Chain A
């Protein structure tokens, strides 16, 4: 699904990722853990194609290089980023935004655009599946949403867009236990043999709900240790300083 080879990324001439290697196969869920400032969010941004970074190394997605592909085309090819801080867009209706987005993705994949009625049915079904309030759909995108609502909205979008590679950027931060469960259920119910996940988190807590196949520890722009979920348990005990 995704191969990252010797990835280096710098912004304003400051190197943040310093030679990173990860390989994710279809169906796998990888967790990336690391202390603040280790480059976790940079990794999420670089994978989704955000401007402003100078990149070297190789990014391959579904066997093809991603390096020259702009953000929107990556999204259309099935790369989804659940944001750490989903931004507010005033005046834009949540449901309309989702439909616009879905149709962009469908069109790029050679599928027919979804009509308003079928979309409404789909979005209501997914909203209920996640135990979310339908009223959210008619509100302005993320405007006045609580932290939990914003994150749930990200998971809803993930469900609707049905991507192949899902990057969760500290989706657990700022969530109470109920919201965390909704988010985790959303992820778990989406897991299958074809989808891959890259779960970026600071805390081991999320991994009690979402079981990773692999855990990597990111420190100072490099993967310093890889292992299975036991590694996360160990981290919880010893802290990041206990590693390496």
Chain B
């Protein structure tokens, strides 16, 4: 009898390229490049000085190499650090002035920017290579005193806020890629929620890499003032290319007293082809500071793309009674690699953190959870709960769990649970016997495995994320 074979893999849906004239910075990393970026963004001197300080630091800084996924040496002089569509040079005042090609690109990605068609209940900032193309619902948010704009705009219009908070969670000197980002960052989103304000809609940034040989250095800064709430989501895609492209973002979150930030990521950068050629290096630094008492920061990430994913969205729990959460799904298929997890640094009293990580590995992929729970001396009565589950598909992939646990006082409690399992044939047979084909069965079982994390996503995106989980694993069970 014929073996069932449903190895029809769907190609990466977002792999197209937009043909568009662009302005680029001179190739390579130099003071000249930094001057170029700062000038084209019309930045004040303090910003340029800040960048140059980071650049000087970078000269004496070394790339880390303790991570599990190794990668060929990146030639930083062979990259462009700025690329933007020519038409964006004169800052279109409204969407009517934006190059239709850009609008069309976002339509194709399922992110309509037109007033009539824009996603209901979700304000979107669309970042294309190194510039923000458009931000929707801006006026409605302004009425509530909420600032949601490209960070390049915030530097000019809200310098006090930017000066106060930029680099306050991820210092310039943090580590190589964070320092690199500080020197050459181009665009990203800026969010400020005023005191006692609940942001009435989801805020979302959609990052698109288009230009070849170009790195994307996104910088996002979110500040939730006292008693405020915001839910923010980012999505990312890139064209299919044989070269590896670098995406090195810095994201800083600050939650003051009684404030809450919910930050969700659906990362679908181009993962490379079946043989591991091409794909994005996603080397990202994300960190949130629960600065105020009773504040809360919750990270949710669905990482399905990229050749290498290397990131640890973390929480510094400074305020008493503050809460940090990390919910993660990391899916690696074919030759993808991921080394991801979180750091929960407990400093305040009665601080709580929760880590739920689901790693899924298929094909020849390798998936590592690496996490630190550090409860300080003064963080009395603090608690952490960690659960790391790994699911393996096939016998050529790998899953690793590397927890670092430090408890420096005796009144705090840390719990850690970990499991590793395989999708078993009985589960697949059962689903098949109920009329589901192989791909549907895998998708169902994996979605079940990830349920605790998927539930954390804003409703508008949960359905998309579920589909993505299925698509990412297509062809992984033959």
Task: State yes or no: do A and B come from one complex.
Answer: yes
Q: What is A's interface to B at a CB cutoff of 8 Å?
A: 46, 48-51, 53-55, 67-68, 70-72, 75-76, 80-81, 83, 85-87, 89-92, 97, 100-101, 104-105, 108, 140-141, 157, 161
Given contacts A91-B449, A92-B448, contact A55 B433 (CB under 8 A): no
- B47 in the interface, Cβ–Cβ < 8 Å? no
Contact B445 A50 (CB under 8 A): no
* A173 CB → nearest B CB, Å: 17
- In the complex, which residues of chain B have a beta carbon less than 8 angstroms from the beta carbon of A51? 3-4, 425, 429
**Cα distance, A46 to B435, chains bound together (Å):** 16
Given contacts A49-B1, A89-B444, contact A75 B427 (CB under 8 A): no
Cβ proximity bits B229-253 to A, threshold 8 Å, 1 near / 0 not: 0000000000000000000000000
CB proximity to A under 8 Å, residues B413-443 = 424-427, 429-438, 440
Contact A90 B448 (CB under 8 A): yes
- Name the residue on B nearest A103 (C-beta): B435
Cβ-neighbour of A55 out of B1, B427, B429, B448 (below 8 A): B1
Q: What would be 9 A-B contacts, judged by CB atoms less than 8 Å apart?
A: A48-B433, A53-B1, A70-B4, A72-B438, A87-B427, A89-B445, A92-B445, A100-B444, A104-B440
- B62 in the interface, Cβ–Cβ < 8 Å? no
Secondary structure at the A interface, as helix, strand, loop or mixed, is mixed
- B451 in the interface, Cβ–Cβ < 8 Å? yes
Kindly name the residue among B2, B430, B437 whose own CB sees the greatest number of chain A CB atoms within 10 A: B430
* B209 CB → nearest A CB, Å: 33
- In the complex, which residues of chain A have a beta carbon less than 8 angstroms from the beta carbon of B1? 46, 49, 53-55, 67-68
- B447 in the interface, Cβ–Cβ < 8 Å? yes
Q: How many contacts between A and B, using CB within 8 angstroms?
A: 86
**Cα distance, A72 to B450, chains bound together (Å):** 24
Given contacts A68-B1, A68-B2, A70-B4, contact A91 B430 (CB under 8 A): no
- B213 in the interface, Cβ–Cβ < 8 Å? no
Contact A75 B433 (CB under 8 A): yes
CB proximity to A under 8 Å, residues B439-470 = 440, 444-445, 447-452
- In the complex, which residues of chain B have a beta carbon less than 8 angstroms from the beta carbon of A90? 448-449
- Name the residue on B nearest A46 (C-beta): B1
**Cα distance, A48 to B1, chains bound together (Å):** 12
**Cα distance, A100 to B437, chains bound together (Å):** 12
**Cα distance, A55 to B1, chains bound together (Å):** 6
Given contacts A71-B4, A97-B444, A100-B444, contact A86 B430 (CB under 8 A): yes
List of 10 A-B pairs having minimum Cβ-Cβ separation, nearest first: A91-B448, A104-B435, A91-B451, A92-B448, A71-B432, A101-B434, A70-B4, A75-B435, A87-B426, A55-B1
**Cα distance, A46 to B432, chains bound together (Å):** 13
* B184 CB → nearest A CB, Å: 42
Cβ-neighbour of B429 out of A71, A76, A104, A105 (below 8 A): A71
**Cα distance, A52 to B444, chains bound together (Å):** 23
* B336 CB → nearest A CB, Å: 23
Contact A140 B429 (CB under 8 A): no
- In the complex, which residues of chain A have a beta carbon less than 8 angstroms from the beta carbon of B444? 89, 92, 97, 100
Given contacts A67-B1, A89-B430, contact A105 B449 (CB under 8 A): no
**Cα distance, A54 to B3, chains bound together (Å):** 10
Contact A91 B450 (CB under 8 A): yes
- In the complex, which residues of chain A have a beta carbon less than 8 angstroms from the beta carbon of B2? 67-68, 70
Interface footprint category on B:
20 to 34
**Cα distance, A50 to B1, chains bound together (Å):** 9
- In the complex, which residues of chain B have a beta carbon less than 8 angstroms from the beta carbon of A46? 1
Cβ-neighbour of B430 out of A55, A87, A100, A161 (below 8 A): A87
- In the complex, which residues of chain A have a beta carbon less than 8 angstroms from the beta carbon of B4? 49, 51, 70-72
- Name the residue on B nearest A51 (C-beta): B3
Q: What is B's interface to A at a CB cutoff of 8 Å?
A: 1-4, 424-427, 429-438, 440, 444-445, 447-452
Contact A140 B430 (CB under 8 A): no
Contact A105 B433 (CB under 8 A): no
Contact A50 B429 (CB under 8 A): yes
* B462 CB → nearest A CB, Å: 14
Kindly name the residue among B1, B4, B424, B431 whose own CB sees the greatest number of chain A CB atoms within 10 A: B1
**Cα distance, A50 to B449, chains bound together (Å):** 24
Contact A81 B436 (CB under 8 A): no
- In the complex, which residues of chain B have a beta carbon less than 8 angstroms from the beta carbon of A67? 1-2
**Cα distance, A70 to B426, chains bound together (Å):** 16
Cβ-neighbour of B432 out of A54, A72, A92, A100 (below 8 A): A72
- In the complex, which residues of chain B have a beta carbon less than 8 angstroms from the beta carbon of A71? 4, 429, 432-433
- Name the residue on B nearest A59 (C-beta): B1
- In the complex, which residues of chain B have a beta carbon less than 8 angstroms from the beta carbon of A101? 434-436
**Cα distance, A46 to B433, chains bound together (Å):** 12
* B446 CB → nearest A CB, Å: 9
- In the complex, which residues of chain A have a beta carbon less than 8 angstroms from the beta carbon of B445? 89, 92
- Name the residue on B nearest A104 (C-beta): B435
* B90 CB → nearest A CB, Å: 50
* A7 CB → nearest B CB, Å: 11
Contact B434 A161 (CB under 8 A): yes
Contact A89 B427 (CB under 8 A): yes
- In the complex, which residues of chain A have a beta carbon less than 8 angstroms from the beta carbon of B449? 90-91
Give me 16 other A-B pairs in contact (C-beta within 8 A), A72-B438, A76-B435, A105-B435 excluded: A49-B432, A70-B437, A72-B432, A72-B433, A75-B433, A81-B433, A83-B433, A85-B426, A86-B430, A89-B431, A89-B444, A90-B448, A91-B451, A92-B445, A104-B436, A141-B448
- In the complex, which residues of chain B have a beta carbon less than 8 angstroms from the beta carbon of A92? 444-445, 447-448, 451
* B368 CB → nearest A CB, Å: 23
- In the complex, which residues of chain A have a beta carbon less than 8 angstroms from the beta carbon of B450? 91
* A99 CB → nearest B CB, Å: 11
* A164 CB → nearest B CB, Å: 13
**Cα distance, A80 to B435, chains bound together (Å):** 9
* A95 CB → nearest B CB, Å: 13
- In the complex, which residues of chain B have a beta carbon less than 8 angstroms from the beta carbon of A104? 434-436, 440
Contact A108 B435 (CB under 8 A): yes
**Cα distance, A104 to B444, chains bound together (Å):** 13
* A154 CB → nearest B CB, Å: 10
* B454 CB → nearest A CB, Å: 9
**Cα distance, A108 to B435, chains bound together (Å):** 9
- In the complex, which residues of chain B have a beta carbon less than 8 angstroms from the beta carbon of A70? 2, 4, 432, 437
